[in-house]
Structure 1
Amino acid sequence: MASAQGVSLSGDGRMGLIYDGDDIRFTSRARVTFTLSGETDSGLAFGGSFRADNASNAASGSAGNVFISGDFGRLAMGDVDGAALAAVGDLYSVGLTTLGDAHEMNYIGRLLGDTINDEDDGVAQFSGVSIPSLFPRALYSYSIDGFSFYASVSNPVTVRVNNATAFNTQTGLATSNGDSLGTITEFGVGASYSIDGFTGALGYERARANPASVTGLDSITFGHLAASAEYSMDGISVKAIVGRAMNDLKEIIEDEDGSKTQYGLGVSGTFDATTVTAFGRRDFAKDRYLGLGASYDLGGGASIKGGVVHVSPNVGSSETRADFGLAFTF
């Protein structure tokens, strides 16, 4: 009955072992996803999806998403990717658990909280603040004849002090816990084109922290330009990604002995029921990641998966993580 009314259920699960660099432990989970769909009298499609474990956040727009689509394209809101990420993407993941998402590139939405909130490595005038979720984000996309265009904007959020002592020490301003410092808004554009197995993509994203309501604080702009090239043929895919930090983000990274350029290369090959994936990347902090994984399709939605990731940080000792087990889709 639920399916007939535009609500369907699906799920995923896993069971296995994970090595976190120190200990071997079990990893297990089961999740249910609700997928909603409908159509207006004029032919517009609409719907959404969210996981059962994220139901409360989906109700506020910080998890899951809803959309409407037609000849004009597709507009989605909620926990959706920014335009640069939607166009350029990440490298191929490895392992049963994706091993800390080591295949993911640095995008502003992922960097923003770490860049500003870290009192040692972040922006001095913004250290000791709290940044709420940028969701719900809005993402518009349009595709025609192999060409896709993306545009996104985040929910404008208020930056508030959450550590008055740290903030006052670094700025000399008389602020209190909970004081508003202004707003942050993130926006982006991206495009991709696919032809004969080749896909090229370009994305630009920017976030502006505007503390205009507080005397003595300057606005800060985080810019990021990313590009990718991917080629697939006979079950083998190769993808390269490069990103360049811009504006104040570049200066922050270079001040911390980082690099204004990040890059990565990934390879994936499928041979009968076996898929092998590998990647290598270096992020803005000059941390290096190498990953290798494989999966074997057992049929019926079950597969055997395993992977190894080696992390070599610019500062500190390197570590190796690994996992192995069974993955299920329902």
Structure 2
Amino acid sequence: MKNFILATTALVATAGVAAADVSISGYGRFGVSYSDNADDWTTASRLRLQFDMSTETDGGITFGARQRFQTEENAANAGGNGARFYMTTGGFTLAMGNILGVVEAAPNLYMPTKSAGVGLEGNGFHSLATNTSSNAALGDPNAYFGWTAYSSAGAGATDGVEVLYSMGGLGLHAHSTDTSYGIGANYEFSGYTVAAAYEEFDNDDTVLFASVGGKLGAANVALAYGETEFDGVSASKWSLKGAYDVSTALNVYGFVASEDNGANESYGLGASYDLGGGVSLEGGITQTDDNSDDTVVSMGAFFSF
């Protein structure tokens, strides 16, 4: 890997530039959320600006970077994130900095919704098979990002190196950070995708994820399984997710999940109504059947640009 990085540096110094591109995209969302345990409605909002920059050498090698600036109703989550740098040629990509991570990038981990979970804000992301009660061992019961993941705002980005390769329907992914390593693979065939990802940390914490998903008639469905161990606390969980286009504007979706340790069952239902122009109305409800026994609702407007 070290020799490859040195060779990459030489390419930067000697290759001519054939094309360059800078784009700005993002989204805004605003509305309200409710927690039965807190017995309170609160405002919910986020504004994300994403900057993507790339340039291509005369030899056809693309170099680029991505950086986000994000603000939420919680000012502590405001600011710019760490940048992700990459070079890609053919089906090979080498990236450094604020990397994606093999578990975070695995197909079928998240729901195919605007929030990647239920409702406007995700409602705790209980649909994730890797979001288990063992994550609470990290000191935060909502710390579902126990695995290496691209950080969208402020401090906290994991600095690492990752390699991705795709050929036909096959995708391979490996990463290395100061505290962990991860490997993953996925394969797409006949509209279905199977995936597996594994991450192990220096303190012996582990995350294992596997999934299969695709079109089933008029619906998109995915079945996922996760095993996690954090600070000696182990848990396994499965999650079944599905979405259905009722019309060209209305999409309904839901999930059910079950864990063998602590969290037991959780489920959620939601809907998205497309108003056109990148604007939609989002809403959903999530119920957790555990010690907290909470019901969470979030709803509001979403617009992309």
Whether 2:124 is the aligned partner of 1:100: answer yes
Structure-2 separation of matches of 1:36 and 1:111: 38
- Is the contact made by 1:199 and 1:230 (CA closer than 8 Å) also made in structure 2? yes
Q: Verify: 1:49 aligned to 2:71, yes or no.
A: no
Give the C-alpha shift of residue 138 in structure 1.
2.1
CA-to-aligned-CA distance 1:82-102 (integer Å, 9 cap, x gap):
223323442412211112333
Structure 1 residue 223 corresponds to structure 2 residue 242: no
C-alpha deviation, 1:270, in angstroms: 1.9
The TM-score with structure 1 as length reference comes to 0.70
Map of 2:257 onto structure 1: 281
Match of 2:159 among 93, 117, 136: 136
User: CA separation in 2, counterparts of 1:94 and 1:45?
Assistant: 36
Pair 1:233–1:282, CA change in 2 (3 A): closer
* Equivalent residue for 1:115, pick from 137, 143, 152: 137
Query: Would the aligned equivalents of 2:285 and 2:296 in 1 still touch at CA under 8 Å?
Result: yes
Residues 311 and 78 of structure 1: CA distance in aligned 2, closer, same or farther (over 3 Å): farther
Q: Is the Cα contact below 8 Å between 1:86 and 1:190 reproduced in 2?
A: no
Match of 1:305 in 2: 282
Q: Please state if 1:10 is matched with 2:25.
A: yes
Deviation at 1:39, TM superposition (A): 1.0
Distance 2:217 2:276 in 1: 21
User: 2:300 matched to which residue of 1?
Assistant: 325
Q: Does 1:208 align with 2:202?
A: yes
Structure 1 match to 2:45: 28
Q: Is the 8 A contact 1:106 1:283 kept in 2?
A: no
Residues 73 and 142 in structure 1, CA contact (< 8 A), matched pair in contact too: yes
Is 2:137–2:231's contact at 8 Å kept on the other side of the alignment? Answer: no
- C-alpha change, 1:143 and 1:44, in structure 2 (3 Å) is same
**1:144 positional shift:** 0.8
Q: CA–CA distance in 1 between the matches of 2:59 and 2:134?
A: 41
SS in 2 for 1:86: coil
Going by fraction, where is helix more abundant, 1 or 2?
1
Q: Percent of counterpart pairs with the same letter?
A: 30
Q: Which residue of 2 aligns with 1:40?
A: 57
Q: Find the residue that maps to 1:69 and give its secondary structure.
A: strand
Q: Per the alignment, do residues 56 and 15 of structure 1 end up closer, same or farther by CA in structure 2, a change over 3 Å counting?
A: closer
Amino acid at match of 2:56: E
The yes-or-no answer on 1:81 pairing with 2:100 is yes
CA distance in 2, matches of 1:297, 1:197: 24
Q: Cα distance 1:91–1:117, how it changes in 2: closer, same or farther (>3 A)?
A: closer
**Distance in 2 between residues matched to 1:116 and 1:299, nearest whole Å:** 41
The alpha-carbon deviation at position 301 of structure 1 amounts to 0.5
Between structures 1 and 2, the one with greater strand share: 2
State the Cα distance separating 1:194 from its structure 2 match: 0.7
2:194 and 2:172 map into 1 onto residues whose CA distance is 12
Is 2:244 the partner of 1:269?
A: yes
Q: How far 1:303 moved relative to its partner?
A: 0.5
Give RMSD over aligned pairs.
Answer: 2.8
Q: Which digits, 9 at most, give the CA deviation of each residue in 1:172-195, with x for residues without a partner? A: xxxxxxxxxxxxx21111111111
Structure 1 residues 80 and 20: CA distance shift in structure 2, 3 A = farther
1:70 maps onto 2:89 in alignment: yes
Structure-2 change in CA distance of 1:57 and 1:85 (3 Å): same
In the alignment, the residues of structure 1 paired with residue 298 and residue 138 of structure 2 have an alpha-carbon distance, to the nearest angstrom, of 32
Is 1:19–2:34 an aligned residue pair?
A: yes
| Displacement of 1:289 | 2.1
CA contact (8 A) 2:279 2:302 kept: yes
Per the TM alignment, residue 241 of structure 1 is displaced from its structure 2 partner at its CA by 0.8
Amino acid in the other structure paired with 1:201 = A
Q: Which runs of 5+ in 1 are unaligned?
A: 119-131, 157-184, 210-220
Q: CA deviation at 1:72?
A: 5.5
For residue 222 of structure 1, report the CA deviation from its aligned partner.
2.2
Report what 1:190 is aligned to.
184
Q: Deviations over 1:95-153 (max 9, x none)?
A: 11112333333279x977x53558xxxxxxxxxxxxx9571132211111101111011
Residue 250 of structure 1, CA deviation: 8.0
Aligned to 1:244: 227
Q: Which moved more, 1:137-146 or 1:229-238?
A: 229-238
Contact 1:88/1:227, CA 8 A, preserved across alignment: no
Q: 2:132 matched to 1:152?
A: no
Q: How many residue pairs align between the two structures? A: 258
Partner of 2:202, secondary structure, is: strand
Which structure has the greater CA radius of gyration?
A: 1
Q: Calculate the TM-score normalised by the size of structure 2.
A: 0.75
